[in-house]
Structure 1
Amino acid sequence: MIDFAERKINKLLIKIDRTTCIATQNYIKAAPNFFELDDERICAFKDSTETTPNEEIIEACSVCPVQALYVLDENGKQLVPKFL
């Protein structure tokens, strides 16, 4: 069973696939005000994330090596991970 966490911010929908996450923390380095590790050492959203720019969120999600982070725009188009 896949376990997702979701958050809408700045017209984006960000999803964390908690089942796939391997906690590399690259996303925390790219967006330290948006992501953190939870008690299970899995990627999680910080409580207050409203001030994080879209570009920073997209960059942070794109550096996940196992594609456990997804970004969709307001129309539902998937921005990250990008399909080839």
Structure 2
Amino acid sequence: MADTCEREISGQTVRIDRTLCIGSGNCTNIAPEIYVIREDNIVDFQDETPDIEQGRLEEAAALCPVDALIVEDEDGERIVP
């Protein structure tokens, strides 16, 4: 599996840096329809990721204790972290 992966969700680009992830699960608590903890105890995207409220998407990323989740707006400007 790649060290990073990204998806376009709700008009924002969400990137996961799997090398930083410690599997805290904060993101899965806020946005379980977007994130899942895989067998290796590292976060990944669900197979299908529906659009959700941008605030929840940003909150899920902001709660990551190691900044493994990055959210950018449609212009490529970083929102979180």
- TM-score (ref. length: structure 2): 0.91
Q: Structure 2 unaligned segments of length 5 or more: list them.
A: none
Q: Provide the C-alpha distance between the structure 2 equivalents of 1:53 and 1:31, rounded to a whole number of angstroms.
A: 10
Range with bigger deviation, 69-78 or 31-40 = 31-40
The structural deviation recorded for 1:39 is 2.2
Aligned residue pairs total: 80
Range with bigger deviation, 57-66 or 32-41 = 32-41
The structural deviation recorded for 1:53 is 1.8
- TM-score (ref. length: structure 1): 0.88
Counterpart in the other structure of 1:57 = 57
Listed one character per residue, the Cα deviations across residues 23-78 of structure 1 (whole Å, up to 9, x for unaligned) are: 00011111111111112111111122213221111110000011110000000000
Write the letter of the residue equivalent to 1:65.
Answer: P
Q: How does 1:28-39 map to 2 (within 5 A)?
A: 28-39=28-39
**Identity over aligned residues, as a percent?**
38
